[in-house]
Structure 1
């Protein structure tokens, strides 16, 4: 009897998890025109530390999408500095889409992650106030399993925006895909770009291939 009850509970858990996943997958992005500008915003993971500028993920993504992708990554930047920097970039480029991959240096420096979450929320608000679509890239906490910090998924759900929450953890946990302890190599950045491209396809921003 107890086993039967446990099986029923597990079934409801799986169904609920599936519903959450389908809700996330149902988030639609505006289609990106061929002349759309995409702003890749972040720190060293966006800048491309560990490889050349031509092999950083924004350059790789530009080749995949055949659309302009601006590399707006600054190594070592914490989220509060990024928040202060973002408005001028939005005004300059008027991006149709902003890819936010920020907060890694906050995590490394053990800053207050509730403040990091607030800063990234304000980045999302800035993007939306400019009618820019947004996607999030979750940054891993460097531990046994390289799971992304929980606030990334929470922000994605709260704002109903797509997120790639596992790819960086998968890359950083694989020695053949990274240039040092925390940065991908050229192959790792290529995989990140491919994952973002796939995410954009799934959510309707670009046609499927």
Structure 2
């Protein structure tokens, strides 16, 4: 009986935890990667940034809208311009690293991410979240990302970035990935995107 209950729990988590598992987009979709230095691709040249690698894997243009050094508040301030300029079918949000490094309020980070999600959806975009780790002895994703993914039924890339940033062989410096790290991040994101005709 215990084994059956455990199996049911595992199946429920596999298919029901953390919001959706896949985003479906058309081959003509417009994808925007929206974030800070991890999106911009600090530590590598442009062809090795994750948005460029993702575009290669999907065969679809991915617009790199990453700006190094930005906090989530700064990202939120420019989001409307990004949405109206590019009209994305899918926006991949990866913000929070600079909030952590600058000891910004976690409450404010959550509020900013929430507004990013709401505004993106209002513009007709599907939203994918990439969780950023809280830095400490062990890197683990901040809980706010799963909370918002569950609340808004979003695809969440939860453990990939913390795992990569915890592996020195995948980093160009303390807080940025190298070419191999960005390629692995792109591959994990691509795994959750389905191209439909």
Q: TM-score, normalised by structure 2?
A: 0.92
Asked whether 1:114 is paired with 2:103, we answer no
More RCO (CA 8 Å, sep 6+): 2
User: Which residue in 2 is equivalent to 1:76?
Assistant: 69
Q: How far does residue 80 in structure 1 lie from its aligned partner after superposition?
A: 0.7
Give the match's secondary structure for 2:191.
helix
Higher strand share: 2
Give the match's secondary structure for 1:31.
strand
Rg: which structure is higher? 1
Asked whether 1:39 is paired with 2:32, we answer yes
- Give structure 2 stretches of 5+ with no counterpart: none
- Give structure 1 stretches of 5+ with no counterpart: 1-6
Alignment of 1:140-155 (within 5 A): 140-155=133-148
Q: How far does residue 15 in structure 1 lie from its aligned partner after superposition?
A: 4.2
Residue from 160, 170, 180 that aligns with 2:163: 170
Aligned residues: 196
User: Which residue in 1 is equivalent to 2:52?
Assistant: 59
Alignment of 1:20-31 (within 5 A): 20-24=13-17, 27=20, 31=24
- The CA RMSD over aligned residues, in Å, is 2.0
CA distance in 2, matches of 1:22, 1:169: 22
What CA deviation, in whole Å up to 9, does each residue of 1:45-71 have, x standing for no partner? 000000001110000000000101000
Q: How far does residue 155 in structure 1 lie from its aligned partner after superposition?
A: 0.5
Are the equivalent residues in 2 in contact too, given 1:24–1:162 (CA < 8 A)? Answer: no
Q: How far does residue 139 in structure 1 lie from its aligned partner after superposition?
A: 0.3
Q: TM-score, normalised by structure 1?
A: 0.87
